[in-house]
Structure 1
Amino acid sequence: MTRTSPDPTAPADAPRGATPPLEFGNRAFVGLTTQAVVTRGGAIAPGRAIVIDSPREFDASLVPIEPARDLLVHGAYMAEAVAISLLRKGLRGIIGVDAGIGRNDAGVAGLAVADALGVPAAAVSVYSCEMCDGRSVWTQGVISRVNAAAAALGAEPGQGVPAAAERMLAAPAGQVREVASRLPEAPQRLAAGDGGQVWGCWSMSLIREPHTADVFCVGTPVDTTMTVYMYRHGVRPAGVIGSDGGFGRAQMAIAGLGILERMGIACAAVSHLSADLGDGASIYHDGIVTKANRQAAAAGVAPGMRATEAAALLLRQAARHADAGA
């Protein structure tokens, strides 16, 4: 009889059947390697395209990343905050997912931030590949947007990711930079009521406590790697409201709805066209719900509802549960 060792990272009180797909996250591989080339414009240093599921796992990547020479291809969105976190590490170039592009082009706002620093960056269509799956992004992704720095090197919409990455690796070596963010880099309290609070953040990776009475409005799509982080770090809020990221291929941009349902956590997604991706406050103030999981629906959350109302309903449901358990 074969015995399976328990997952040492699993919270002791995790309910049976509530484990998200933990393989998502730091899976990584080398997509391609370029050699040193001497051109009329000068020497181009060798480089690699490193492919990973989530930039959140940059430091834990199964393939060590050398930012100065490497271009990173990842399965998350290309909003401003994501790009800033990677530019601070000194990457040579970046390719991510456009998350449907969304209102105010916020799903690809990181391209302009990179461009201001002369760093090539591109986004692939969320409809061409499975979000959070680096291998799908690499093998199936089709470029939808490029910044001027990437375009100058020959990257363009319609290319496959390997072709764009090879061209972008003609960029100069990356360098660590101080990059200011115009959005809050810590969770912001947006509202209070019924024993809990509503918080806004650009990523659930900013949260370190269970927050069982609180609701989080997060700027990311409600995707797989978000749920993996929550599981591994014991984050168990009363509810999560994020973006639908355009749903994407195989609806992977909202895969977290079902995963959190199995974890017993209410979750809803708002239209990527109604609120700015990457901005938790916009998700809360501007978002219009497109999808809700079973726990959120039980609280009264429904498509077409404003996120402000949905958050209030989730707080109310958590308060009722707390009173019943008192």
Structure 2
Amino acid sequence: MPDPLLADSVTKLDGAAGRVIVTGSHGGVYAACLAFRSGARAAIFNDAGVGLDQAGIGGLIWLEQLGMAAAAVDHQSAPIGDAEAMVDRGRISHTNALAQALGVCPDMPCAEAAALLENAPVAGGDCPVIAEARQVEQPFPGGRRLIVVDSASLVRPEDAGQVVVTGSHGAIFGGNPANALKADAALALFNDAGGAATSRLPALQARGVAAATVAAMSARIGDGRSTLEDGVISTCNPAAEALGGHPGLPARTLVEVALRVRGGEVD
């Protein structure tokens, strides 16, 4: 029986056609869409703490409707953004009906679930169009732009020095600090995916970037607008603390401070 394809990020699925994939990404709808578009046989995601409106596993039912078996690993059993750890010690927390019909069930080791999913048929048909949002609001009194993205993969080099609010989890995928963010933003916000997804914060501190996470139960993971409007800060790096960031602060408040900063001082 072939080994599953391991992908720390669902944005990197080369060679996935016909294979079971285990991805460190959350199980939201857009991540599920990428898995379906890859032609994979089935997929296992990280449940990202499930979070507000069960956004961390929202893609499982979405894939079920398209005929693709899918499951999610408990974020407490294996860290988000680390597919190898998921296979080594992850335990299943959620399944869709198609995966369940193949014998996949809660508390099953991820590796065992992946083996069972090799029996899933490859789903056919077209994938509904789902596009991640990138919204740019400008200019603010401090001269900065507000960049709101559903995924950190949508951050661009020209976003350096701006305020970036993402729907992505706050863990570095692949263990590479260079993956923390594509640009040195003035402030970057992420989702803590259940509490442990914060490794981007010290990596960004080393680059002089203020960064913070919002609690998964306060904002929908994969939804940058929810991070901004609903999010409540859970963890800050020292640079974000210098802006007044602290646990319990509304994300919108921290963003507004960062947007007013001009030359190191708040207007």
Distance in 2, matches of 1:301 and 1:273, equals 18
Using structure 2 for the length normalisation, give the TM-score.
Answer: 0.92
Match of 1:20 in 2: none
Distance in 2, matches of 1:106 and 1:51, equals 22
Using structure 1 for the length normalisation, give the TM-score.
Answer: 0.76
What count of residue pairs does the alignment treat as equivalent? 263
5+ long unaligned stretches in structure 1: 1-33, 35-46, 60-64
Question: What pairs with 1:164-183 in structure 2 (closer than 5 Å)?
Answer: 164-175=113-124, 177-181=126-130
Match of 1:320 in 2: 263
Q: 1:207 aligns with which of 155, 160, 169?
A: 155
Match of 2:30 in 1: 81
Match of 1:185 in 2: 132
Which amino acid in 1 is paired with 2:223?
A: D
- Contact kept, 8 Å, 1:71 with 1:92, in 2: the verdict is yes
Distance in 2, matches of 1:227 and 1:307, equals 24
3-state DSSP class of the match of 2:13? helix
Cα offset, 1:174, TM superposition: 4.4
How many percent of aligned residue pairs carry the same amino acid? 29
Distance in 2, matches of 1:53 and 1:322, equals 39
3-state DSSP class of the match of 2:167? strand
Which amino acid in 1 is paired with 2:148?
A: G
Question: What pairs with 1:219-238 in structure 2 (closer than 5 Å)?
Answer: 219-225=167-173, 228-229=178-179, 233=182, 235-238=183-186
Q: 1:269 aligns with which of 200, 213, 216?
A: 213
Let me know the Cα RMSD of the aligned residues: 2.0
1:198 maps onto 2:146 in alignment? yes
Match of 2:86 in 1: 137
5+ long unaligned stretches in structure 2: none
Cα offset, 1:322, TM superposition: 9.0
Distance in 2, matches of 1:151 and 1:286, equals 33
Match of 2:51 in 1: 102
- Contact kept, 8 Å, 2:33 with 2:127, in 1: the verdict is no
Match of 1:293 in 2: 237
Cα offset, 1:79, TM superposition: 1.1
Match of 2:8 in 1: 53
Distance in 1, matches of 2:238 and 2:136, equals 26
Cα offset, 1:230, TM superposition: 5.1
Residues 169-206 of structure 1: CA deviation (Å, up to 9, x unaligned) = 1111344732222xx52411357522112222111111
Distance in 1, matches of 2:97 and 2:54, equals 16
Distance in 2, matches of 1:295 and 1:112, equals 39
Which amino acid in 2 is paired with 1:201?
A: V
Q: 2:194 aligns with which of 246, 257, 278?
A: 246
Larger radius of gyration: 1
1:149 maps onto 2:98 in alignment? yes
Question: What pairs with 1:36-75 in structure 2 (closer than 5 Å)?
Answer: 48-59=3-14, 65-67=15-17, 69-75=18-24
Match of 2:164 in 1: 216
- Contact kept, 8 Å, 2:210 with 2:237, in 1: the verdict is yes
- Contact kept, 8 Å, 1:87 with 1:176, in 2: the verdict is no
Distance in 1, matches of 2:77 and 2:105, equals 15
3-state DSSP class of the match of 1:155? coil
- Contact kept, 8 Å, 1:190 with 1:281, in 2: the verdict is no
Distance in 2, matches of 1:214 and 1:192, equals 10
- Contact kept, 8 Å, 1:91 with 1:176, in 2: the verdict is no
